[in-house]
Amino acid sequence: MAASGSVHPPVGDDATDFAAQRERMVALQIVARDVRDPLVLDAMRRVPREAFVPERTRDLAYDDSPLPIGCGQTISQPYIVAAMIEALQLKGGERVLEIGAGSGYAAAVLARIAGEVITIERFGALADKAAATLAALGIGNVQVRQGDGSRGWPQGAPYDAIVVAAAGPHPPESLKAQLAIGGRLVMPVGADQQAQKLLRLTRTGADDFRCEQLADVRFVPLVGDEGWAAPDQAGPAGSASK
């Protein structure tokens, strides 16, 4: 996805204030909730979250809550971004697939750890904006693609890790097939679109996976061929929003 537009990082006192807010966020929202991976904590300290939220809500960038970013989507609260990335168990240099680019913030955090990140976004406007923000910040190891995230991105497979920032009724078979042996898939799963379990699937063999339940979460639905039907196509069980 070609980047367009520009982002102007804050300067002077604004930059200092956001840096202080970022340190407080890591200490009070992330470390205090037992995220301990030093690679994740360092990445969360370095990525300017304020660059990924709409200007009108920039002063809320480091609040302990999700924020709307358009198209009915949100940027997840900082803690859940950190917790999901920690659950991937990255060591550095991996090839990672993210489903649900949204603002591009989680991809930017991943890019501080992984060698290459491919991130898929269903909405073209969000994909374009995420690509532009990442490019303006000089983050060059992220590819933003528009498409059906429930089917993954087979052109780049296999992946050492896949993270899904939307909830599906089950882990998509396409995503499981695109994991490398030993790779981890982290995503929220549940038949109820109002509440899900955060799962980690580790591929232990060609057809074998180990599943762990990590937490109770609530995410927007994963819409696609291997997720939920779009709201205008769904029946009563497939049209909830976050």
Alpha carbon distances (Å) from 117 to 42, 99, 111, 191: 18, 11, 6, 29
Contact 175, 149 (CB under 8 A): no
Cα–Cα distance, 97 to 218 (Å, whole number): 21
Report the candidate in 198, 173, 229 with the shortest Cα–Cα distance to residue 87: 198
Q: Which of 76, 103, 150, 174 is catalytic?
A: 76
Cα–Cα distance, 74 to 198 (Å, whole number): 18
Alpha carbon distances (Å) from 72 to 67, 102, 109, 172: 11, 10, 22, 22
- 150 is an active site residue: no
Catalytic site positions: 76
